[in-house]
Structures are given as C-alpha cells and as structure tokens.
Amino acid sequence: MIAPVFFPPELVSQSEMEEAGGVALDTQTDHLRSLYFRRLHSETRDESLDRELVKLVIDHARRVIAHPGRPVVVKYDTFVRFPFGDLALEETIEESPLLADAEDYLVEYQVEKPFSCVAMLDCSSSMSGEKHLLASVAVAVLLLEVPPEDTSLTVFASNALTIKSLLVRESPEETILRFLRSSPRGFTNIYGGLKEGLSQYKRVGRAKRKVGLLATDGRTTEGGDPMEIARQFDFLVVLHLHGPGSHLEASKGMAQQGRGVCLEVEKFEQLPRKLYEALRMLARL
C-alpha cells in the first residue's frame, strides 16, 4: 500500500501557499486528504464518505473562485417583451425616433457571456495520489464556472475516457465523483486525449468555436503526434504541469498549433487557480 503524501505545515505556510496561487493548507485540507486516501485504499464503497469527500472538494473550489460571476454582455429587447430592463434611450431614438408605440421602446439588460469548453486532463499513473486529489479541485472549479451543458471533461492515459459530455445536464457532485473514481493508471496518450475532446464538438454538430483546455506535462509516451490534432482547435489553452521529465517546449508547441496560449503551473498545488484563471480568460474571448 502506498502511504498518503502530506506536506508538513512547517514547510508550507498558508500565506506562502496563497501567494503562490495554490490551495492553502489548513485543518479542512488535512481532513480532505485523510478522506481521499481512506477512500482510495478502502475495499468497499462508502456512499457517505463519497458525499463528504465531494462536498469538501467543492468547498475548496469555491475558495479558489474569486469572482463567482462570469463576464457579461449587454442585450436589447422591447419594453413589452422585457419590462424589467433599463430604458435604452439612445438606442430607442435611433431605431424609432417617433416613439409611436410601446413596442418602439428598447430596454437593455445583461446576461452572462456564453462559451463552451472541453477540458482534457492527464490521468496517467504519474498523476496518482495527491495530484489526483488536487486535480479533482480543479475539476470542481471548471464545473462551478461553466454551465454543465457547455462543458465536457475527458481524462486520458493510455486511452481517453469522457467523464462528462457536452449538452449533458448533471450536478457538479455527480461529475466530480465520477472523476474521483477514475483512478490514474497507464501511460500518456496526449493525442488520444485531444482527439476525444475534439470529438465532443463533432458529436453535438453545432457551429461552436472549438475551445479546449489541456492539462499535461507535455510528455507523450503513446499514440500519435499531438501537434496534428492540436491544430484542429480554434483556441487551445495548455496548462503545463512542471515536474521531472516535463516537456515545456512540447506544451508551448501544442498551444501554438491550437492558436492559444500555454500557462505554466510551477507547482501542482497551483493547478486549480491556474485553471480558474484560464477560464476567466476564455470567457472574455
């Protein structure tokens, strides 16, 4: 049995972790880790433990999200159809200077700016234990920031598996639990992960921008050339996970081929916040 990994509190203070943009250590975090590793090594499924674990993961994700609201866009409609909006006087006069009917009056209101995003996370054996737990917090950030029908989640190792599909409505709790049950194992097939993520847009058959969010160390050990599939995205954000053997140039290359950006994650504890920053950037495109 592999012993759980804990960061000694004297080595990483809460203020230092917050300055680094990571998940701060506290009593709640220790409890989260304890539950995760207890569940990991349990021979039977404990539904109450699963519920508590998922709740703590979501609590941690909410602490990462600084601005719960998404960027907004201004919409216009007639007063008759939307009587609770603010009167848009200039737009009203431009459209109907005579103002002969109630339908001539325009009002303005704000709605959250919509966007779709497919996320693809490395779930090979190198991502087991502590990293898998922190990745679950990042997944929770994704699910809290993007409406369920507008996001999908793919995990990849030797093969790729879609955990959550586009257009599917389900609670964040359901998706997070399914992610936690997808134990990391196998080698790294980045090509397969990108291809599976891209297939989500092909499956729904809509003229949406193909926006992808890939978390990887850039090192691929199986499958085809990731550059070939990366260029099929309209905008690809690569969260490069630094670590032994990581390949930064490959991550930058995939982002460039996907007409996107590469954001470096110096320490794995920073992944939830870096993913949050990436989502805020994507929402403004």
Chunked mean pLDDT (size 10), the chain, 285 residues: 36 41 61 91 89 95 79 73 80 77 78 83 94 96 92 96 95 96 93 96 80 96 96 96 95 98 96 94 84
Of the candidates 198, 267, 284, 278, the residue with the CA atom closest to the CA atom of residue 25: 267
Q: Which CATH class is domain 117-283?
A: alpha beta
CA 206 to chain CA centroid, Å, is 21
Please report the pLDDT score of residue 63 as a whole number: 92
Run of H or E residues at 43: none
Q: How far apart are CA 58 and CA 37, in angstroms?
A: 17
What pLDDT was estimated at residue 1? 36
Q: What is the structure's pLDDT at 29? A: 84
Q: What is the pTM of this model?
A: 0.78
The closest of 64, 176, 165, 173 to 116, measured between CA atoms, is 165
Task: Tell me the domain boundaries of the chain.
Answer: 14-64, 72-112, 117-283
Element (H, E) at 242: none
Nearest-angstrom CA–CA distance, 124 and 30: 24
